[in-house]
Copies of this chain bind each other. A is one copy, B any other.
Amino acid sequence: MSISRTLLGLLENEPSYGYTLKHRYDELFARTKTLAFGQVYATLGRLERDGYAEVVGVETGEGPERRRYAITTEGVAELDTWIRTPEPATAFAQSTLFVKTTLALLSGRPPREVLDAQRGVHLARMRELTKARTRADDIDRLAVDYEIAHLDADLRWIEEASERLEHRDRAKNKGNRP
C-alpha cells in the first residue's frame, strides 16, 4: 500500500519527527493494525537517501537526537505523480480466497468448507462495521463504506461460487448413475 508515499504525504502537510509521523499515520489510516516504529525510521532513511525528504533540524538536547524531517521539492513532485497516477486495475486479480478454493478443488477437499468459513468471519466483520458506521464522521465513513463494499463483493462471490460448485456436483452425480 506504499507506506513510503503515504508518509511523504503526511510530511507535505508539515515537517515532523518520525515519532509524530507514526501517530499521525495511525490516526488517519490504521483502522486495523498500527504502524511499527521501526518501519517509519527505515522508510524515512530511504526517503532521505532518494532525495524526497531531508533533515531540517537536529535537536540534541541531552538524550537521543530528535530529527525533524521535511519534504523536498523532488519529494513534492514524486508525491504528486503518485497521487495522480491511478493504481493498476489488476489489484484484485490475486485473492487468497480464490487460491484456497482452487487448491481445495484440486486436492479433493470440500470447497464448501472453505467458502463457509470465510463467509462466517466476513459476516461478523460486516455486523461490526454497520454498527460502527452510525457513529463515524464523514472521512471515517468513507473508509467504512469502502470496506463494506468489498466484504459485500466477497460475500456475493462466495454465494455464487457455492451455487455453481454444488450445481456441478449434482450434474456429476447424475452422470455417474446410469
Contacts and interface: CB of A to CB of B under 8 A. Distances in A.
B138 A149 contact: no
A145 B120 contact: no
A157 B105 CA distance: 32
A84 B113 contact: yes
Instruction: Name which of A95, A113, A168 has the most chain B CB atoms within 10 A of its CB.
Output: A95
The copy count of this chain in the complex is 2
A83 B96 contact: no
A29 B101 CA distance: 12
Interface of A: 1-2, 6, 9-10, 12-13, 28-29, 31-33, 79-80, 82-107, 109, 113-114, 117-118, 120-122, 124-126, 138-139, 142-143, 145-147, 149-154, 156-157, 160-161, 164, 168
Given A84-B114, A118-B87, A150-B150, A32 B94 contact: yes
A161 B149 CA distance: 12
